[in-house]
Amino acid sequence: MNTDYFRFETDADGIALAIWDMPNRSMNVITEAVMDELASIVEAVASDPAIKGCVITTGKENFSGGADLTMLQGLRAAYERLRAEEGEEAAMRRFFEESRRLTLLFRRLETCGKPFAAAIHGLCLGGAFELALSCHYRIASDAPHTRVGLPEIKVGLFPGGGGTQRVARLMQTGDALQMLFKGEQIRAPMAKGMGLIHAVAPVAEIVAQAKAWIRDGGSSVAPWDAPKFKAPSGKVYSPAGMQVWPAANAIYRRETHDNYPAAKAILNSVYEGLQLPMDHALKVESRYFAQILRTKEAAAMIRTLFLSMGELNKGARRPKDVPPATLRKVGVVGAGFMGAGVAYVSAQAGFDTVLIDRSQEAAEKGKAHAHALITGQINKGRAKTADRDALLSRITATADYAALEGCDLVIEAVFEDPAIKAEVIGKIEAVIGPDAVFASNTSTLPITGLARHSRRPELFVGIHFFSPVEKMMLVEIIKGGATGDRAIAVAVDFVRALKKTPIVVNDSRGFFANRCVGAYLLEGHKMLAEGVPPAMIESAGRQAGMPVGPLSLNDEVALDLILKIARATEAQVGPDAVDPAQTWILTEMVETHGRLGRKNRKGFYDYPEGAPKRLWPGLAELQPNRLSPEDVDFTELKHRLLVVQAVEAARTVGEGVVTDPREADVGSILGFGFAPFTGGVLSYIDFMGVPEFVALARYLESRHGERFAVPDSLVEMAESGRTFYGPSQQAA
């Protein structure tokens, strides 16, 4: 049999082996051509009496990342074209049949009469894991990077290749729903414990053991096709079943606030599917999948969290004419919380790292932070003691700036004070070589101003990490007025080496992310000053799609830090640059009541030991006015919290701070959790419709002030019918 994507062979025992190994790709993915070839393999196995069964495995370091989402995007685009040409009914019929092609292929494999086994090594996610689930036996390697999972929910989809139905028949219903809602990658031993796979073995043995299972008479009948099959949680309409579904519905609403159609489709598919035989259940799943694939939420999330993020991670914004950087030694000046985090991720990426502070004691304290972080990974089973020893050996903690000699890149992470930073810049540049790149990890101070203290402004760049550094995946790279391409290229290469996502923006106070975050925090403060009940403010933020309300986020950032930034901005830019209501609230909280945020367990929330956080009762006394909840338009609160961020993002585009909409959308979700179901802060505007957004913002401006004023560039877009992505780039 001629194959391009699978190597197909049969051994002396009559057991076939299909090795999935797509040429010219680092990762196997499911495409239309792969589906065609897999269908041919299934028919060859089923029709040849000499073949007893088949093992499917990988020829790469990973089994597969799943379906090529550009293929699914293409289905949606084809639907729109066909609807325009032949009408809704014809387009929907074709779309439904095409969208369930993978389901039918996997069901044919499952019912072809011959046993199939999946020998899994590395990542096996999404449609690839649905392929494994349709096999009658699953064995995974014990390699640390071997993971299985159904992460479709993270890009606005849900498992549409039979995943919702097979998982719900392998596990207790509550556990199955939790797995489908979270979309997490599951290590092989845990997957075995959950009943998702049958065995775990060394990678060298998985194919042999899979073949042995077939040779020893492995069944070609899936459990759910056996006449006496019973779902693990029993029937839906049973006492046990009725204990699951009310709770599941409540959890769904609490976690999603009805913002994610795919999550609701998972709930419906499992609920309806468990009441039907498998073939009918799969058809139910397919109908929901076809519906979700056409939603704007799926289109936006696929575009931003799969396509755009993938392009940025590959260096889409890196200057093309600069050779790849060879980085070996990295310096970090400032061993506080941020600097220690930067040193940790740098050493974790394999760089020799020099961590400097004013005293040896302070530098060692920063290194101890790295020790604590890697120890936490060891305790969770994600690292070994040898990993900790190796990582710590790469960090040199010292107070001696001379240790920076030979560094390819130095990052300063000292206090946000221009005078302090100017002093540190001089000390660093007195030591480093002429080709070393200097980066400032400032969160608000313009890079162009800081670079005036440098003797080599063309090699001076901003690298803005987010807190906590080890967890946050976004890094903002800031191009100052004199920053050259080489400095940008080195910064991008460094961030990619850390396995984080870089966005490149032009200089501005607060750059991109912090300008939007600042608008969100300010709106929360303004609502508080207006007398809106604090619980309503927080609930509006969460229900709008933000991970936490603005008051909670302020506690995480630290109230005293926001107050310092406000005062520094007033001193450097003028009194009109800050909001007096915000300054008054922060001054009262910090200086009158000593409430700094989570760091001293007292902020807008109280943080009692061993108990959940709760809003500080004293907030009511702080409010000059108090509105009754009945007098507050809750929908308007939600609009205010998202629109104020989107208006600020549009301003950064109009000012040339952001030059690529992909970076604004990816950056807004990864950097500050902007409502992921929207696809990001600019997609939010596009999918609402630019004229509609402008009208909403103007309404809010008329009620709440000029912070909602629409920039001229956005008005021009609305009048000309343009969007941020343009017709050719719209998620169709």
pLDDT digits (tens, 9 = 90+) for 42-97: 999 999 999 999 999 999 999 999 999 888 878 888 888 888 888 888 888 888 88
- pLDDT at res. 77: 82
DSSP three-state, residue 370: helix
User: In DSSP terms, which residues pair with 680 in a beta bridge?
Assistant: none
Does residue 35 surpass a pLDDT of 50? yes
The predicted model gives 562-588 an average pLDDT of: 92
pTM: 0.92
pLDDT tens figures, 125-183: 999 999 999 999 999 999 999 999 999 999 999 999 999 999 999 999 999 999 999 99
The predicted model gives 684-701 an average pLDDT of: 97
Residue 17 has phi, psi (to 5 degrees) of -130, 120
The predicted model gives 550-570 an average pLDDT of: 93
How many residues appear in the chain?
Answer: 732
**CB of 645 closer than 8 Å to CB of 705:** no
Give the alpha-carbon dihedral of 163, 164, 165, 166, to 10 degrees.
40
Q: Residues with Cβ < 8 Å from 644, sequence gap 6 or more?
A: 519, 520, 522, 523, 700, 707, 708
Task: Give the chain's mean pLDDT.
Answer: 95
Q: Domain-by-domain residue ranges, the chain?
A: 6-294, 329-511, 514-656+660-727
**CB of 162 closer than 8 Å to CB of 282:** yes
Cis peptide bond prior to 468, omega within 30° of 0: yes
**CB of 475 closer than 8 Å to CB of 500:** yes
**CB of 8 closer than 8 Å to CB of 51:** no
pLDDT tens figures, 299-343: 999 999 999 999 999 999 999 999 999 999 999 999 999 999 999
Signed CA dihedral, 603, 413, 475, 353: sign only: negative
Does residue 344 surpass a pLDDT of 90? yes
Does residue 731 surpass a pLDDT of 50? no
As given in the structure block, the two tokens for residue 338 are 């941020």
Q: Which of 5-9, 103-107, 370-374, 571-575 has the lowest mean pLDDT?
A: 571-575
- pLDDT at res. 732: 40
- Cα separations (Å) of 519 from 104, 489, 647, 648? 49, 30, 9, 7
The number of C-alpha atoms within 13 Å of 95 and in the hemisphere containing its C-beta is 27
514-656+660-727 is classed CATH 1.10.1040.50? yes
- pLDDT at res. 727: 64
* pLDDT band at residue 3 using 50, 70 and 90 as cut-offs: confident
Closest CA to 375 of 512, 470, 299: 470
- pLDDT at res. 728: 47
The predicted model gives 239-259 an average pLDDT of: 90
Same fold, 6-294 and 514-656+660-727: no
**Strand 137-141 versus strand 53-58 pairing type:** unpaired
Report d(CA 442, CA 411) in Å as an integer: 10
As given in the structure block, the two tokens for residue 392 are 């710590």
Closest CA to 421 of 316, 327, 334, 354: 334
Fold of 329-511: Rossmann fold (3.40.50)
pLDDT over 70, % of the chain: 99
Sheet containing 123-125: give its strands across: 123-125, 147-149, 186-187
* pLDDT band at residue 659 using 50, 70 and 90 as cut-offs: very high
Fold of 6-294: 2-enoyl-CoA Hydratase; Chain A, domain 1 (3.90.226)
Residue in the structure block whose two tokens are 């579904």: 245
**CB of 114 closer than 8 Å to CB of 220:** yes
Residue 545 has phi, psi (to 5 degrees) of 120, 0
Which residue would you say has higher pLDDT here, 592 or 382?
592
